[in-house]
Amino acid sequence: MFALLMTVLACMPQRAQAHDHSFGTHGMTLFGDRDGLYLSHLPLFRAPHGHQVVLKVRLADAQLDRALREQLDGKTHLWTIEPERFELSRLDPRAGSPLRTFSADVFSGHFERDGKRAYPKAQFVVDRVLVYRQLDSAMRSRSQARYLPVGSFLVKEIDSRPDYDHIVALAAPAPQVLVVPKAGLDNPEAALKALAAVRGTVYFETGDLR
């Protein structure tokens, strides 16, 4: 009887994962400066990646946390992470079992596109979920692009299909959401420069959001 109970308990996590369509490897863009570190999920219009998620995070290792903040510090060089597998739904602020920490390899460059592993198995702590939105896979166009202020950065709200994932570094924090005209899948950095002190683009991706 005891052996049977242990077998049932051992199977429960796998069954839960099988029924949670958000379980997988959720690559993310890592950006930030001396004031904070952020992660932005690399979404797709299909499970298990069908949510736009932006997190404020820190490294459990204080020394590594400081080192990464100094390395990133408002720069536009791309950094990404390849985390351990987990249910993205656990980052929903309403989740019954929220994800507080996870391990990830940190890459200079894109982890799926010849990026270089810089810090293996770094332990991330989720301080705050800033954005958690399910993407609508229906085809639709928008005439404007909305950019959400995240520290000294802007993150485009993904609200159409096709669309683009865009993160912009600023010289100073934006006081509010910025809205600019949208011309298809063109990078609107020039229009953003008319509204904010733009340092440059950290990440711009169209292929994943067709």
Above 50 in pLDDT, residue 3? no
Please state which of the ranges 6-15, 77-86, 173-182 shows the lowest mean pLDDT: 6-15
Above 90 in pLDDT, residue 7? no
- Other beta carbons within 10 Å of 102: 19
Contact between residue 148 and residue 133 where contact means Cβ atoms under 8 Å apart: no
pLDDT digits (tens, 9 = 90+) for 93-118: 999 999 999 999 999 999 989 899 99
Q: Quick one: pLDDT at residue 25?
A: 86
Higher confidence at residue 150 or residue 9? 150
Q: Quick one: pLDDT at residue 18?
A: 43
Above 90 in pLDDT, residue 2? no
The 3-state DSSP class for residue 114 equals coil
| pTM of the predicted model as reported, rounded to 2 decimal places | 0.88
Q: How far apart are CA 106 and CA 111, in angstroms?
A: 8
Cα 93 to chain centroid distance, Å, stands at 15
Above 80 in pLDDT, residue 77? yes
Q: Quick one: pLDDT at residue 24?
A: 78
Which percentage of the chain shows pLDDT scores above 90?
80
pLDDT digits (tens, 9 = 90+) for 17-57: 445 688 878 899 999 999 999 999 999 898 887 899 999 99
